Amino acid sequence: MLTNTLNEKTQQPYNDRVKSVLYNRILIFLGFLGIFDSGVLTIAAFFGGNVPCGPLHGCEVVAQDPTSHLLLGVPNAFIGLLGYALLTLIACAREYVGFDDPNLTKAAIAFSGIGFLVSIGLQYLAFFRIKAFCPWCFTSAVDMTLTLVFTLMLAKIVMKKPIEVEGQPRPSEPSPKVKPSYIVPILAVVTFGGLGYEAISMQGQGAIVVDTPQQLITQMEDPSGHVINPGGKVTVVEFGDLVCPFCHELYPQVENIVNQSHGQIRFIFHNFPLYTNPEHKDALPAAFLSEILNEKGQFFNFVNAVYTTPPDKKTKMVTLDQIFNICSSLGYDPTKLQARLVAMAQNPNNTDPAFLAVKKDLALAAKLGVDATPTYYVFAPGQPEEMAQNDSILKILAEPAIHKYWGSPAKQ
């Protein structure tokens, strides 16, 4: 019995060393994964590239939000890159120097703990404030969480007390040298090769493929009457769905800012009905109706009325019946409007001007990569163009470089 106990106790250091090697090599892998993930986002942040992000473009939404540059205007991704590089260096030092240095492990616990808290905080902001999902940011958060977990598991081994045999503490001995694996050079080649590939892929990309902000504005300018304050110095472009609840909530706030600007903010509206969404079944006819009313200069009267009409309590959206009532209040015969809509639906080669106007807006949105409503583009003198979705537009309009055009009349 005593012999078995002694064998177990003397075998334990060997088992611990095996686990140490395994855990540390997992940490090396997680470190290089974090370098690649945060490195791709850093390249995109500094050079204006797009990262593969899925159909909702949550990466761009998160990157455009002010919370993506929390420390002295430096992109969060770059700070994350530095953190992962440091953690990877610590893990590599263990691989080549030894596995039982408690100081390296304490440093790793501190840095990975801070990284974990920051990652969780950024995910909270993304989900609940920005209301967007960035898979790269989420992957980084999972990576940092696993890094903290395996660092703590490693620490449990490295920092344990010396084993006692027959009541006497066994002096701690240096671990026998472990032959370093090829994991570090292999992962380094794969990681930095991947970053190089992503950098080349993103070269010349931007959120929208145009050469200058003025060219982008030119593409979005609408000669058909969807413009308020055509001489404004700041341009705000909205792609909106007339039955979208988020558009319904934000449009009056943006319109109020435009009205406060004393002509300094030019506002352009483009129809982007989400007609493929079953819940937005009334979006397309509403867009057609807006263009029909635009033929007699009633576009913004119609849009303002739609966005200020209390939505249906059940669907949380303005219904088509309510929209026809708005048309009636503006002097239009709902029966004639319905007949025109039916004619559009029955004609596959539609040449109706209202149909063509909406088609043109949808084509422009597709060209620019718009896929959600409301989507805004903001252009201010001397400032880079900015894209916003949902209430992040209010944060952009509150930035000092833009706020001065509407918040302080004396400075205009």
Domain spans of the chain, in order of start: 2-202, 213-411
Once rounded to an integer, what is the mean pLDDT over residues 355-372? 87
| Candidates 3.40.30.10, 3.30.360.10, 3.40.50.720, 1.20.59.10; CATH matching 213-411 | 3.40.30.10
What pLDDT digit, counting tens, does each position of 70-102 carry? 777 788 889 999 999 999 998 888 888 766 667
Reported confidence tier of residue 155, pLDDT bands at 50, 70, 90: confident
Instruction: Give residue 173's pLDDT.
Output: 43
Instruction: Give residue 319's pLDDT.
Output: 94
What pLDDT digit, counting tens, does each position of 115-131 carry? 999 999 999 888 887 77
- The pTM of this model reads 0.51
Query: What dotted CATH number matches 2-202?
Result: 1.20.1440.130
336, 261 contact by CB (below 8 A): no
What pLDDT digit, counting tens, does each position of 262-318 carry? 999 999 999 999 988 889 999 999 999 999 999 999 999 999 999 999 998 888 899
Q: For residues 305 and 290, what is the distance between their CA atoms, to the nearest angstrom?
A: 11
Q: What is the Cα 250 distance to its own chain's centre?
A: 19
Domains 2-202 and 213-411 share a fold: no
Instruction: Give residue 199's pLDDT.
Output: 79
